[in-house]
Amino acid sequence: MQNNRPATLITVAEAAGVSKTTASDALRGSGRVSEETRAAVQRAADALGYVPNGSARHLRRASTGTIGLYVPEVLTRSDYYMSFVFGVVATASDNDYDITLITSGRARPPRVDGLVLGDPLTGDPVVEELMNAGLPTVTCERFPGRARPDGVVWSRHADVVGDLLDHLAASGAERPALLVAGDESDWAANVHRGYRDWCTRHGVAPAVRTVPFEAPAGDVHAAGRDLLRDEPGLDALVCAPAGSAAQLLPLLRDAGRRVGTDLLLASCVDAPDLLLTEPPVTAIDLRPRRAGAACAALLFELLDGTSPPGTERVHPIELIARASTAPISPR
Amino acid sequence: MQNNRPATLITVAEAAGVSKTTASDALRGSGRVSEETRAAVQRAADALGYVPNGSARHLRRASTGTIGLYVPEVLTRSDYYMSFVFGVVATASDNDYDITLITSGRARPPRVDGLVLGDPLTGDPVVEELMNAGLPTVTCERFPGRARPDGVVWSRHADVVGDLLDHLAASGAERPALLVAGDESDWAANVHRGYRDWCTRHGVAPAVRTVPFEAPAGDVHAAGRDLLRDEPGLDALVCAPAGSAAQLLPLLRDAGRRVGTDLLLASCVDAPDLLLTEPPVTAIDLRPRRAGAACAALLFELLDGTSPPGTERVHPIELIARASTAPISPR
DNA sequence: TTCCGCTGCCGGAACGTTCCGGCAATGGAG
DNA sequence: CTCCATTGCCGGAACGTTCCGGCAGCGGAA
């Protein structure tokens, strides 16, 4: 039997026999309240099913209750960013925050309390503009440009790419090549660096082909053909751009290479379809949903002062080995 | 040179030389305001860059400023639902609304002004519970169960499946088969119906295999092998479940069928990876993002009374022909 | 003339929260 | 004992909007 009007702070206060101020302090842990009173208020709130009214809270606090979320338009289709956005949205909604999706054609900065930028690209004018808006900002991956965000969530891409190459070597690969996007994204730059460092450490001559970020499937195919032609000893291929491993699979097969048998294939971005290919493709799980959640969480901590500006946080990622990198059988 | 504090209704009213009430009425078109006054207020608002404070508005109106969005947990990974959610989120944020993602393990109905349910399944207990919460509700596709939503956005799936089969027939197919999920989803039921109706009209014996909604890739493969074995004349395959066409492609190839040459393949759900396969796969573009936007828009119209309860709206979808259904060459 | 209704505008209250300042009671230091 | 700091609690104002009721002024009907 529950009342049709939802419980307010005043209802709770009356039920607990205290004033609204005390009730508010008790529930938020602010002000000075005795432990017994706090417990009593909490009990009353639970019993009444009290949920704070977000609108009233934001009104009083002069916050908009909204955070802006920008992901480069080009990438909207990718599975990674979809999941990333979901992570941000879910965390925001837990904190009573609204999300405004910021698209490229923005006139003036939207009315938001803070910004989350997913893997910002150096040249992107929208990113530059947003970073200079004077709002608390969190980026996923470091921003390679001049401006400094107030918070960063980043992953050890270079290290994990090293792990991946170790894994390939353990499976018998001696000439691993890399397909990667340009260095305007910090992620791509780190993947690239991780590869070169590994090559240096192991005395292997690097074989790298670059495709632009928004490359259509055709360009990826061309780069793949390029590698097959120019690198005769090629026995492993690491694909960085999202989707490129799946795109190359048919090409490699048509070229007579047996993936997972005499040619190892791995992707730097895991995606559901890499499980469905034949063979399933080894990939680095970037945990995009959690990354989004971490960015949002960090932004909220910056907003309420729990974390200081300049905070950086490492987001764990993981190598997932599948059949495409099983030990090479001699051919 | 813009003030650091954003313009409020009072600022605008002062600038226009009227009271806050009049300013409010003028901007919203309510109350009685002369045309000159309204124009003056509008000018002042534009000049100051006035944006209404959503929190204050929602507080006053006793709305939460939040709508609940439920998509079955099983489907969260699918590209269709990702885009659908994006459509809802974007439209909601245009209307100053927050989105609460409703997950399966809900204790009590969340504090929201209304609900959007994406393609609700009959047996889903969460759906039943939400539909009985007494909140304005919009579903994407009709709800096959008892409860009636206040608004429905639906598409002519059966018709377009008919178009697809016409297209296959025009390419030379004589024995098209269907792979489809169970009838607990209105969408799957309509696809199924569209197929059977077409078969009846054209005097073709239907060949249908059913896989459960949350079928793993293995089940889809099994159903595919089933069809290849039991339907000797099979020359076209229509795959309804999201992702199943891409999953079957390698299987069909291994079975010696040349897709797009002696076997036509089509998907009832378009997805980015269908463009990347070899050959690209013909599909029905369900325009999921727009569908989500339409659901949210309809919900807002229900909330503000612009549209009456019981409104239904047709969402256009489109057949996209690709190489996988090019005219069959005789083998 | 009086009366009435309509138009155009306005003041104040309310929504539910947070925060500032204040006040009584307590208790330890002097 | 007095004095003062601290603890625990509270009232009232404020955030920006919407809405209810009201009040002049005007014009037409009687």
Residue B65 CA to C15 C1' — how many Å? 14
Q: Cα angle vertex B89, ends B121, B46, to 5°?
A: 150
**Tens digit of pLDDT for each residue in B42-72?**
999 999 999 899 899 999 998 888 888 887 7
pLDDT of amino acid A107: 44
DSSP secondary structure of B218-283: HHHHHHHHHHHHH-TT--EEEE-STTHHHHHHHHHHHTT--BTTTBEEEESS--THHHHSSSPPEE
pLDDT over threshold 90, residue A154: yes
Nearest chain A residue to B85, by CA: A86
pLDDT over threshold 70, residue A142: yes
pLDDT of amino acid A40: 93
Confidence bin at B238 (pLDDT 50/70/90)? very high
pLDDT of amino acid B107: 44
B82 interaction partners in chain A (CB closer than 8 Å) = 79, 82-83, 86
Confidence bin at A2 (pLDDT 50/70/90)? very low
Query: Structure tokens of A32?
Result: 């000075």
Which of the two residues, B164 and B110, has the higher pLDDT score? B164
* B98:A54 CB<8 A: yes
pLDDT of amino acid B147: 85
Distance CA A211, CA B9 (A): 51
The residue assigned the tokens 């997932």 is A320
Which of the two residues, A275 and A264, has the higher pLDDT score? A264
Query: Structure tokens of A247?
Result: 């795109």
* B98:A51 CB<8 A: no
pLDDT of amino acid B331: 46
Burial class (CB in 10 A: 0-12, 13-18, 19+), B70: buried
Where is A193: in which H helix or E strand? helix A186-202
φ, ψ for residue B131 (rounded to 5)?
Answer: -70, -25
List, in order, residues 6 or more apart from B164 with CB less than 8 Å away.
B238, B266, B268, B282, B284, B319
Pairing of strands B318-320, B282-285: antiparallel
Residue B260 distance to chain A (closest CA, Å):
15
Residue B51 distance to chain A (closest CA, Å):
8
pLDDT over threshold 70, residue A105: no
Burial class (CB in 10 A: 0-12, 13-18, 19+), A244: buried
Q: Best mutation site among B51, B98, B100 for testing chain A: the one with the most A CBs within 10 Å?
A: B98
Mapped to the 3 state alphabet, what secondary structure does B136-196 carry? CEEEECCCCCCCCCCEEEECCHHHHHHHHHHHHHHCCCCCEEEEECCCCEHHHHHHHHHHH
φ, ψ for residue B238 (rounded to 5)?
Answer: -105, 120
Q: What is the arrangement of strands in the sheet containing A208-210, beginning at the earlier edge strand?
A: A208-210, A176-180, A236-239, A264-267, A282-285, A318-320
pLDDT of amino acid B109: 57
Confidence bin at A77 (pLDDT 50/70/90)? low
**Tens digit of pLDDT for each residue in B140-174?**
999 888 888 999 999 999 999 999 999 999 999 99
List, in order, residues 6 or more apart from B317 with CB less than 8 Å away.
B155, B156, B157, B160, B284, B285, B286, B287
Instruction: Report the nucleotide nearest the CA of residue B25, measured to C1'.
Output: D18
Q: Mean pLDDT across the stretch A107-121? A: 79
Q: What sections of A62-185 are H helices per DSSP? A: 79-94, 125-131, 157-170
Q: Is the CB of B54 under 7 A from strand C?
A: no
Round the average pLDDT of chain A to a whole number and report it. 88
Q: Of A87-91, A185-189, B72-76, give the range with the top mean pLDDT.
A: A185-189
pLDDT over threshold 70, residue B95: yes
**Nucleotides of strand D lying closer than 7 angstroms to a protein CB:** 7-12, 14-21
**Tens digit of pLDDT for each residue in A5-21?**
789 999 999 999 999 99
**Tens digit of pLDDT for each residue in A161-216?**
999 999 999 999 999 999 999 888 899 999 999 999 999 999 999 999 999 877 67
Distance of alpha carbon A147 from its chain centroid, rounded? Answer: 20
Percentage above 70 pLDDT, chain B: 93
Distance CA A235, CA A257 (A): 9
Q: Is the CB of B255 under 7 A from strand C?
A: no
| A82 lies within 8 A of chain B by CB | yes
Confidence bin at B1 (pLDDT 50/70/90)? very low
Q: Is the CB of B61 under 7 A from strand D?
A: yes
* Surface of A (83-142) touching B: CB under 8 A: 83, 85-86, 89-90, 93, 96-101, 108, 111
* A55:B77 CB<8 A: no
Residue A46, number of CB atoms within 10 A of its CB: 10
Q: Mean pLDDT across the stretch B191-212? A: 95
Which of the two residues, A92 and A312, has the higher pLDDT score? A312
Confidence bin at A240 (pLDDT 50/70/90)? very high
Which of the two residues, B105 and A127, has the higher pLDDT score? A127
φ, ψ for residue A201 (rounded to 5)?
Answer: -60, -35
Q: Residue A180, SS3?
A: strand
Residue B99 distance to chain A (closest CA, Å):
7
Nearest chain A residue to B7, by CA: A111
Beta bridge partners of B152: B139, B312
* B86:A90 CB<8 A: no
Residue B16 in contact with residue B34, Cβ under 8 Å?
no
A103: DSSP letter: P
Residue A31 CA to C22 C1' — how many Å? 14
pLDDT of amino acid B123: 80
B288 interaction partners in chain A (CB closer than 8 Å) = none
Which of B59, B90, B273 has its CB closest to that of A246?
B273
Q: Mean pLDDT across the stretch A70-88? A: 77
Q: Is the CB of A101 under 7 A from strand C?
A: no
